[in-house]
Structure 1
Amino acid sequence: MRAIGKSFPGVRALDGVSLTVGEGEVVALLGENGAGKSTLMNILAGVFKDYEGEIEIGGEVARIHSPKDARGHGIAMIHQELNLVPELSIADNIFLGRERAFLDRKGMESRAAELLRGLGLDLSPRTLIKQCKIAERQLIEVAKALSQNVRVLVMDEPTSALADAEVHRLYEVIRDLTGRGVGVIYISHRLEELEEIADRVVVMRDGRYVGERSSIDRDELIQMMVGRPLGEMFPRAAGGDTGEELLKVEDLSVPGEAGSGRTALRSVSLSVRAGEIVGVAGLMGAGRSELLEAIFGVHRPAGGAMTLAGRPYRPRSPRHAIARGVALVAEDRKAQSLVLGNTIAFNASLPSLKRFLRFGVVAAKKANAEVERQVRELRVKTPSTRFTVGNLSGGNQQKVVLAKWLLTAPSLILMDEPTRGIDVGAKAEIHALMSELAASGKAVLVASSELPELLAMCDRILVLCEGRITAEFGRGQATQEAILEAAMARQQVMTL
């Protein structure tokens, strides 16, 4: 890609960016949210048909102005915002757009099953996408890309919803592809992945090429990305004071999805104290999200009991949970936390409108003032609170989600993958906020597939495997290896 430029109304998204990828090479593309990485890759994938500059494939000029053009040149892209049709099956999604007059459904399902097995997914090709978890959908996107005769594969945050075991399986797939001469462009905010997978790192900032490196120096790459030294990534100090037990869960059981024949949670017991950050680790399907959602009133438990601030707590719905001072930063912010077509002010004030009612009418001036205060404190990059949330970067969207819940003044904050798909600068700010919340006496229960995040930020870490707690570690007592061993265990609970 040579001297690529792209403008949107009022924004110069790309300014003369060049990028080269060799056969069998993995090039990592780094930059903060809004740096232009996804825009550059969307041009390569034919999503944006109008652009400046030139693209060459195999030494020949390639005119790419549609996804069909890109496929014709052997270019496939796994988008950060998953590009799947929820109402269709896995097989239908994998081969969507490549159907013939008569569908060879048996052949499609056989090939889909083969691709799923290769990615370690035990799913029927006939399963509907809407029945799949976020991590499963991410791997299905990988299967969709691999089903094509690919020469260049773009992977935009492919591991953002995956636990370590699934990440390493994906690495094996990438190594197999590069061994066959496929060039891979790999966008990730997880800097720890680069040493293992990348041959070269290219850094962008503010729509421009900043530089590239063949060796991985974390501090140097961060400074190139953000234009300044970032400081401490995980700012939580050890040994913080904790208060009274705020949440207690005893023998909580939650059934799985209807027709799945499985139990999501089995006799789970835990507690979280005021001023404490408790982490939840586990592989895909272990029950992390179901645990947080059950506490938030999304799922009706089949058994067990909960207390909140010493009183019985049986949330009938999320509305009931919010009224009791519980907030949930959901795993999928776009589908579960935000109304993308509406403004920051609308989204941030939505669960706390009752605070601003005067004689049945919302006091808009007061509500907007509170939203603006939260936006300033969280440093959301936006021209105003009237800006549409869908046009913000991923990191700034996540800050709006946090602003929304902080306006409800919660005592217990549940966080499901709070730093998924956001850049290192925004990630550091969210870590700092978690520390501030705990220091102010809030209780925080956080589920994350990023083990370094849990190890650095949490006072205790619980490990789930197939809906059961298989280990509990105190601060400074866990290692990534010990957590992974417990995440794949089926024996009785270990406590350290």
Structure 2
Amino acid sequence: MLDPDSILFSTRGLEKRHGSKNALIDINLDIGRGEIIGLVGQNGAGKSTLLNVIGGAYGADAGTMTLDGDPYNPDSREAALAAGVSSIPQDFTVDPDLTVADEIFATSFQATASYEDRVQLAQELLRADGIDIDATARLGDLARAEQVCVRLLRLSFEESQLLLLDEITAVSNDLEISVLHTITNRLTKQGRSGIYISHRLDEVQSLSDRIVVMREGRIFAELEPSESGGAAGIAYAIFMREFAPVERPPQLQNPQPLLQIENLTADGVKPISLTVHRGEVLGVTGMRRSGHSELGAAIGGINVATSGVLRLNGQELSIQSPQDATANGIAYLHDEDDARGITKDDTMASATMQPMEGASFAEEARRFREVVATMQRLDISAIGPHESVGNLSGGDQQKVALAKWLQIDAEVVVLNHPTRGVDAASREVVYEMINEITARGGGVVLISSDMTEVLDHSNRVAIMRDGELVDIYPNTGLTEDMLVMIALGSQWKSGTTGRRAAAPNDHNS
């Protein structure tokens, strides 16, 4: 129980409806000064809706809020900021033409300082927090995780008491998460409070002072991080069931080549040669700007290759567009929302059903049933298959994109950060669907900055650095620390033998 004098923010009886759906029901929440609340729950539980109401993006339909003892009822994000509440929403956007220095000081008194002074101070801040970004760089040239770092530094200069952080580490690697946590902890030590949403339950436990569990629009439980039972315990509180322990995929016996890449180059990718085998999940990871996402985009026809050869089943391919990739049996799930071929005006059915010119009514009906079954399997919180994608939670929109690409009858499926913003139960289903692809002889390229995900679900792991393929390692005995060290360019030593823990350059085929 919080001391009443220590409470910064409170809600009582807060409610919000989206159409006929109760998104928030009787939310009563107190947040102490300097406290970080970890807010968890499955997709569609109401987490982002709650932050949007507190942050001024949505108006509440009932209930009250107080901030620092005074009534609080913002009608916009700008009004919330003026009252002392700052947000980084899940779908935040940036002005691509602004520089990093412009962004950091955009809403502070430093905005009137000379550009040279702002650049110098911004560079000092970035360096102090271990962020390797040029203060004069354009926001449009930064990766999403870098934009998050810059936006979080901007919050440092806003005179805010309450910080609302929604899935800010969704595509971040372990080092970036550490930096973001350092900045967040520094802000709370200044007396600010925060609400932090993430589906990475281990980081919720490590960062939070309290963990609040939401279910179907209600606050279901509160957990003390030290007594939560770790990620497994938090997951149980969310879903009320235990998850089976993960067993890493074994090495393939007598691997048969499926996709062969020879000396492929593209924007951000130096000459790379590798093979994806039938029935294999090849994990691809690296630090920011390592080229791992760019490689996936090159295979999928988004980042058009400038040289090199791709062969599928021994047949040379010409891939100049995503349509070429799909036509040749390669499906590609982009890591950016606006490039996944789905708009907020689409319905779930229209977004996921592939065109079937000349198909019979029976065939169309069969495909529709498959779409509905996939939606049910992924537990998408919606009224029905004809609901607009824009009405869904961010995580459920991600699931619709996954359903679209996992249903394509492709021989090779390239998944770029497929579980970003997806809850633990749905991740389990995604991994099951990946296993179904490999079981029928297809190949999967799993691109992720989440090294735990890569280790848990790949037969082999390819590590990239500065656009180059460092090596491909058998997933036997690898650890996250090893992956980080290799990705950073440090040779990992095992025991006192001086040998690298993973075998060297003989695993590319």
Tell me how far apart the structure 1 counterparts of residues 337 and 408 of structure 2 sit (CA, whole Å): 18
Query: Deviation string for 1:370-417 (max 9, x for gaps)?
Result: 144133135253333322112223343233223322443100000000
Other-structure match for 1:424 = 424
1:220 aligns with 2:233: yes
TM-score after normalising by structure 2: 0.86
Give yes or no for contact 2:471–2:504 (8 Å, CA) kept in 1.
yes
CA deviation after TM superposition for structure 1 residue 328, in Å: 0.6
1:316 aligns with 2:320: yes
1:250 aligns with 2:262: yes
1:2 aligns with 2:14: no
Tell me how far apart the structure 1 counterparts of residues 252 and 443 of structure 2 sit (CA, whole Å): 12
1:272 aligns with 2:309: no
Identify if the C-alpha distance between structure 1 residues 70 and 115 changes in structure 2 by more than 3 Å, giving closer, same or farther: farther
CA deviation after TM superposition for structure 1 residue 97, in Å: 6.3
Identify if the C-alpha distance between structure 1 residues 234 and 332 changes in structure 2 by more than 3 Å, giving closer, same or farther: farther
Tell me how far apart the structure 2 counterparts of residues 145 and 365 of structure 1 sit (CA, whole Å): 55
Other-structure match for 2:6 = none
Structure 2: state its 5+ residue gaps: 1-9, 492-499
Give the partner amino acid of 1:14.
L
Tell me how far apart the structure 1 counterparts of residues 128 and 388 of structure 2 sit (CA, whole Å): 40
- 3-state SS of paired residue (1:72): helix
Give yes or no for contact 1:235–1:435 (8 Å, CA) kept in 2.
no
Alignment of 1:445-460 (within 5 A): 445-460=445-460
Choose which of 285, 290, 296 in structure 2 pairs with 1:286: 290
Give yes or no for contact 1:2–1:16 (8 Å, CA) kept in 2.
no
CA deviation after TM superposition for structure 1 residue 93, in Å: 4.2
Other-structure match for 1:373 = 370
CA deviation after TM superposition for structure 1 residue 99, in Å: 9.1
Other-structure match for 1:330 = 334
- 3-state SS of paired residue (1:175): helix
Give the partner amino acid of 1:29.
L
Tell me how far apart the structure 2 counterparts of residues 281 and 16 of structure 1 sit (CA, whole Å): 43
Give the partner amino acid of 2:262.
E
CA deviation after TM superposition for structure 1 residue 482, in Å: 0.5
Alignment of 1:464-479 (within 5 A): 464-479=464-479
The CA RMSD over aligned residues, in Å, is 2.8
Identity of aligned residues (%): 28
Tell me how far apart the structure 2 counterparts of residues 44 and 336 of structure 1 sit (CA, whole Å): 29
Give the partner amino acid of 2:471.
A
Give the partner amino acid of 2:11.
R
Q: How many equivalent pairs are there?
A: 480
Other-structure match for 1:196 = 206
Identify if the C-alpha distance between structure 1 residues 23 and 41 changes in structure 2 by more than 3 Å, giving closer, same or farther: same
Alignment of 1:8-407 (within 5 A): 8-96=18-106, 104-214=114-224, 215-217=227-229, 218-226=231-239, 228-232=240-244, 234=246, 238-239=250-251, 243-255=255-267, 264-349=268-353, 352-353=354-355, 356-358=356-358, 366-367=363-364, 369-379=366-376, 380=378, 381=380, 382-407=382-407
Identify if the C-alpha distance between structure 1 residues 490 and 364 changes in structure 2 by more than 3 Å, giving closer, same or farther: farther
Identify if the C-alpha distance between structure 1 residues 478 and 237 changes in structure 2 by more than 3 Å, giving closer, same or farther: closer
Identify if the C-alpha distance between structure 1 residues 53 and 104 changes in structure 2 by more than 3 Å, giving closer, same or farther: farther
- 3-state SS of paired residue (1:18): strand
CA deviation after TM superposition for structure 1 residue 176, in Å: 1.6
TM-score after normalising by structure 1: 0.88
Tell me how far apart the structure 2 counterparts of residues 144 and 233 of structure 1 sit (CA, whole Å): 40
Tell me how far apart the structure 2 counterparts of residues 103 and 346 of structure 1 sit (CA, whole Å): 50
Tell me how far apart the structure 1 counterparts of residues 335 and 428 of structure 2 sit (CA, whole Å): 18
CA deviation after TM superposition for structure 1 residue 46, in Å: 1.5
Tell me how far apart the structure 1 counterparts of residues 397 and 169 of structure 2 sit (CA, whole Å): 19
- 3-state SS of paired residue (1:399): helix
Query: Deviation string for 1:256-297 (max 9, x for gaps)?
Result: xxxxxxxx1222221110100010111111111110111112
